[in-house]
Amino acid sequence: MNTVVITGCTVADGRAAEGASPVTDAAILVQDDRIADVGPRRDVLGRSSPDATRIDLGGAYVTPGLVNMHTHLSLSLPGTAGDQVKDLNPYELALYMADGARRTLHCGVTTVRCVAEKDHADFALRRAIDAGRVPGPRVFTAGRALVCTGGHGHEGTDTLECDGVDGLRRGARAQIKAGADLIKVMISGGIAGRHEAIDTPQLFADEMAAVIDTAHAWGRKVTAHAGPAAVIAQAVELGLDCVEHGYQLTPEVAALMAARGTALVPTLLVTRCKEFFDELGVPEWMQCRSLGAGPAHLESFAAAVAAGVEVLLGSDMPPYWSFEGTNATVRELEHMAEVIGPARALYAATLGPARWLRADADLGTVEPGRYADLIAMDEDPLASASAFRGVRWVMKGGQVVRAEAAAGGRRHA
């Protein structure tokens, strides 16, 4: 058994949003890929073997690894950079996604939820990561997103066009057959569709019900790309588990979501990322639609928070992408924290997603029995979400995958 003792740290996790206090002068005992013990340093050291490998983090703050709930490792938006991704052959695409997975892990994102990837390459990537052949985060994936003929995202191989009740049922079952952990469905237009608007309804009620009922029968949750309040309300009434974006929520629909337990992944970045769009050569029509939706998008998020909707971290932009002085995951978390505060932001990036994924027995907190997916930084994440800009140490499953010197100087791991 590989045994590691981590010291020189303060441990904090998403339970702080529920009243738990961080553990100062803490130690974490890791055995193989799991946390075996955590608590005050003196207590943990007294219960651990003297032969255990020691890692001193030099006063860092340790949290669980981040969970990004809206990830596209094969993203190809309209524009020159997106066209280059679309032109990759299957072998090049696999390598491109593997590189993105490695970058994502090094950012401190130890788990992702993929919500539409090209050609089912996400399943091959997940197998390679699980087998240890490729470094990357834990992958939960929807496979290809379901979309009506000509609907949002229909141009790419990361979606599957389906129509009618029978077509949508077959589409959902096809993703489950491939190994999907959840189902993603496009129920409205969005910002990246040339011939649609954000508020264009794209599925009828019986089609939405077919997806939701089929997925639930197979024990899978359903998340929906959705913008307008009326469409979201209809889907929530039918049992939808999660909304992506929610550009045009109203207080009434937010209250309905809260009452039904429907979560929101707001992806605030996608309506405030002109620098990213310019870098990718995104056309003017899409930039105008996206950036123009920004004020209402932020109002919708505030309405959801006020109503008590469970809000979860998801960047939509590739999670590792360098943006505004940090990576896309952290920048999204900073935007969220401006409304919900740093403690709730930490919850939205760790324990909240783990619970939605039904993986909180394994992920989301620094507790015995959970995977040793841990990250360290020098600033306090309960004081500011910007602390995550300074992630300098990453462990996944008991293995250190990134280790940099503390701000004061010496390397600790």
Per-residue pLDDT tens over the stretch 305-345 = 999 999 999 999 999 999 999 999 999 999 999 999 999 99
Q: Residues, the chain, total?
A: 413
Per the CB < 8 A criterion, the answer to whether 199 and 207 are in contact is no
Q: Tell me the percentage of the chain whose pLDDT exceeds 70.
A: 98
Domain check: are 282 and 333 in the same one? yes
Q: Report the CATH number that the domain containing residue 351 is assigned in CATH.
A: 3.20.20.140
Q: Is residue 293 part of a domain?
A: yes
Half-sphere exposure of 203 (CA within 13 A, CB side): 32
* HEC secondary structure over 6-46: EEEEEECCHHHHHCCCCEEEEEEEEECCEEEEEEEHHHHHH
Q: What integer pLDDT is reported at residue 408 of this predicted model?
A: 57
Domain check: are 283 and 306 in the same one? yes
Q: Is residue 349 scored above 90 in pLDDT?
A: yes
Q: Is residue 409 part of a domain?
A: no
Integer angstrom CA distances of residue 284 from 77, 152, 267, 345: 12, 18, 21, 32
Q: Report the CATH number that the domain containing residue 15 is assigned in CATH.
A: 2.30.40.10
Q: Is residue 74 part of a domain?
A: yes
Domain check: are 369 and 317 in the same one? no
Query: Among 338, 356, 374, where does a domain finish?
Result: 356
249-308 pLDDT tens trace: 999 999 999 999 999 999 999 999 999 999 999 999 999 999 999 999 999 999 999 999
- Any idea what DSSP says for residue 107? T
Domain check: are 322 and 285 in the same one? yes
Q: Tell me the percentage of the chain whose pLDDT exceeds 90.
A: 95
Element (H, E) at 214: helix 205-217
CA angle 272, 273, 276 (to 5 degrees): 175
3-class secondary structure, 364: coil
Query: Looking at this protein, which amino acid is placed at residue 227?
Result: G
Cβ neighbour number for residue 87 with a 10 Å cutoff:
10
Cβ neighbour number for residue 146 with a 10 Å cutoff:
33
Tally the domains of the chain: 2
| pLDDT, averaged across the chain | 96
DSSP codes, 309-360? --B----SS-TT-EETTEEHHHHHHHHHHHHHHHHHHHHHTTHHHHHHTT-T
Q: Is residue 413 part of a domain?
A: no
Q: What integer pLDDT is reported at residue 195 of this predicted model?
A: 87
**80-84, 217-221, 278-282, 403-407: least confident range:** 403-407
Domain check: are 340 and 368 in the same one? no
Q: Is residue 412 part of a domain?
A: no
Integer angstrom CA distances of residue 179 from 11, 45, 312: 35, 42, 23
Domain check: are 143 and 197 in the same one? yes
Domain check: are 100 and 136 in the same one? yes
For residue 380, name the pLDDT band (cuts at 50, 70, 90): very high
Nearest to 196 by CA among 231, 162, 160, 153: 153
Stronger pLDDT, 48 or 43, i.e. the higher one: 43
Domain check: are 188 and 261 in the same one? yes
* Residues whose CB is less than 8 angstroms from the CB of residue 212 and which lie 6 or more positions away in sequence, other chains included: 222, 235, 238, 239, 240
Domain check: are 91 and 38 in the same one? no
Domain check: are 346 and 375 in the same one? no
Q: Is residue 37 part of a domain?
A: yes
Q: How far apart are CA 68 and CA 363, in angstroms?
A: 13
216-240 pLDDT tens trace: 999 999 999 999 999 999 999 999 9
Q: Is residue 411 part of a domain?
A: no
114-148 pLDDT tens trace: 999 999 999 999 999 999 999 999 999 999 999 99
Domain check: are 254 and 113 in the same one? yes
3-class secondary structure, 256: helix
Q: What integer pLDDT is reported at residue 409 of this predicted model?
A: 45
Per the CB < 8 A criterion, the answer to whether 137 and 102 are in contact is no
Q: Which domain holds residue 51?
A: 3-65+364-403
Domain check: are 105 and 138 in the same one? yes
For residue 405, name the pLDDT band (cuts at 50, 70, 90): confident
Q: Is residue 408 part of a domain?
A: no
- Any idea what DSSP says for residue 254? H
Q: How far apart are CA 156 and CA 145, in angstroms?
A: 10
